[in-house]
Chains A and B, each alone.
Chain A
Amino acid sequence: MHLVYPAVLAALLFCTGLYGVLARRNAILVLMSVELMLNAVNLNLVAFDVWLSRTAEDKLHSGQALTLFTIAIAAAEIGIGLAIVLAVHRARGTSDIDKLRDTAEGHEMDGPDSDPAGSDGPEPPAAEKAEATA
């Protein structure tokens, strides 16, 4: 197999994930795009490991071992990331990363209590209570 096929596919998948990370607004969609980028890297690792094990007689199989490690770390990352997103959603009522601007410069708030989630009006708490009691 031509090595260009998996390399080009990995590059395209990585850039697709890059677009998703930059353009998405929901935090969970950003996590999905991060998974796409990690999978592109995994595809590169596997392709080059197969190539090296055939041409250079590489018995270490470092690419496949690193792929397994990357998959495990990605699983840990998605667990921690979703825990953080859920904690943020509980505290702020939103998982919209464009509204979480407490540490941004140039967007001074009135005080520490006037979070951007409170500017939505009384509609989202009412909806959540209705959904919680249903």
Chain B
Amino acid sequence: MEARRIDSGKIAEVSHGLERTEVERREKVFSVTDLSVAYSGNVALEGVNLDVHKQTVTAFIGPSGCGKSTFIRCFNRMNDLVPSARVSGTVLYHGEDLYARDVDSVEIRRRIGMVFQKPNPFPKSIYDNIAFGPRVLSMEGSLDERVEQALRRAALWDEVKDRLKDGALGLSGGQQQRLCIARALAVEPDVILMDEPASALDPISTTRIEDLMHELKRDYTIIIVTHNMQQAARVADMTAFFSVIVDEDGGGRRGVLVEYDSTTKIFTTPSDKRTEDYVTGRFG
């Protein structure tokens, strides 16, 4: 049966993202197999399988409570910081088990950076914010150079170059978020995770962040969580739609991966009805 074509005029412009074949030609950065996460025994996310490819933008979308934030935190082992969290299944990073016993999670986080929903600059100067990562990781090379290049890559250099010693908390919301991106870039990551990076920002700042993502995708692999479908349509090459399953008896809620495909396909001819319902705004 031919998949019905949704009137794509109903959703915002789908980006000129990569075709699926092109994406899959690239090296696999992450390979997730049967991943589940439970907090104190309550399953939050179940049975996820997907691959993330190099130098692409992958978006996780879905209604609130579907586990997308929990999932993205599996990629840099931030769930380790939550004592009640249990992660099962496999996550391969460039072919190696990310959760193997003897893996150094500190080094993981250097390579797989994260930007949070609410910008969280440290209560220090702009310079010290960017320099924090290189300092604690004892990175070699000129610190001044690193700071400048990180700020340039985050499209913030021109705005702050004359006031690097000023407090970071004095910046606007959009600037603070770009500062957080620069901070992550300064430690030479390979992947950047973004958990709803623009949801706390105004539309103009949001656009700047999205433009930045297009720039950064040339060098980095980017995974973003967003509740804004139009944003996913604008920036992502591949999109994964998550949804919630409610247990009839227990009433517990579990997140599951419903569909994972190129953005164009998800937003124009989704295979699963739930995806179609979400994407056309019928729920969520």
A and B physically associate:
no
